[in-house]
Structure 1
Amino acid sequence: MDSPTGWVRKHIDAYVASGGEKGHDYHGRPSLLLTTTGRRSGLRRRTALIYGLHGESPVVVASNGGAADHPLWFANLAADPAVEVQVGAEVFTATARLATEAERPALWEQMVGIHPEYASYQRKCERLIPVVVLDRA
């Protein structure tokens, strides 16, 4: 099941239909598709996210636009960290994990450099926005 948010679903549709040629570059920012397993439903859930790299591992931010709660995809991977990732045409399995305290500052700065809005999202919410590393399985 793809994201119920209209613009995200359209982005996913273009990404999948083109084998990653359309959608990987999303308004000048690299994006990937992340598939998690629903923590209650057990259904596969897919969303599109901006990403950076930590070595060969993609890095994503659970910003939820600065909302008070984490995004649902983050709750799903917290329950089951086994995920599927599509970067361009490449599809692979990965294990999701929070960036360590040592990794987080540099990864956060990298991600803010890619998508500066993350800094304003952090300012408007009280929670620490998670930085997630997707280590290839």
Structure 2
Amino acid sequence: MLYGKEHVKRYQETGGAEGHDWNNTTVLLLTTKGRSSGQPYTTPLIYQRYGDDYVIVASYGGAPDDPQWYKNLMAEPEVEVQVKDDKFKARARTARPEEKPDMWRVMAATWPQYDEYQQKTDREIPVVVLERTQ
């Protein structure tokens, strides 16, 4: 099973033919700019379409702290996204309180472990909306 840097590499090399469909769900590549280093970081993340946008979850497996990629996009919301062979720029934002419940339901239907992750942590796990900008 693909994971981490190998997942990113295979996804990029094959235009998502390997890596998009993963563990009975779908994965995109999110590239953020490091908030300290300024370097690009690419992370494979489970996603779903939500209208014209893409939705991801900053679960970090229910860890007590937000994942680095989420901290990066909070500092710099302009990101790059790859879905299969479609690469585009997007603006990332945390889902608003009125949108989050429905988006969470969509994501938990795709990856039921999200509900378990939320029970494991005291932090409210953010749902992130990726809005295409080009």
Report the TM-score, using the length of structure 1 for normalisation.
0.94
Identity of aligned residues (%): 47
Select the residue among 25, 28, 48 that pairs with 2:24: 28
Give the equivalent residue in structure 1 for 2:59: 63
Task: Establish whether residue 88 from structure 1 lines up as the match of residue 84 from structure 2.
Answer: yes
The whole-number CA distance in structure 2 between the counterparts of 1:62 and 1:45 is 15
In the other structure, the counterpart of 1:103 is 99
1:36-75 counterparts in 2 under 5 A? 36-75=32-71
Distance 1:11 1:64 in 2: 17
| Structure 1 unpaired stretches of 5+ | 1-5
Measured after TM superposition, the shift of residue 7 of structure 1 is: 2.5
1:120 counterpart (98, 101, 116): 116
Which amino acid in structure 1 is aligned with residue 103 of structure 2? L
- Whole-angstrom CA distance in 1 between matches of 2:16 and 2:50: 21
Residue 19 (structure 1) shift: 1.1
**Whole-Å Cα distance in 2 between the matches of residues 34 and 56 of structure 1?**
17
Q: CA deviation at 1:13?
A: 1.1
TM-score of the pair, normalised by structure 2: 0.96
Structure 2 stretches lacking a partner, 5+ long: none
Secondary structure of 2:3's aligned partner = helix
RMSD over aligned CA atoms reads 1.0
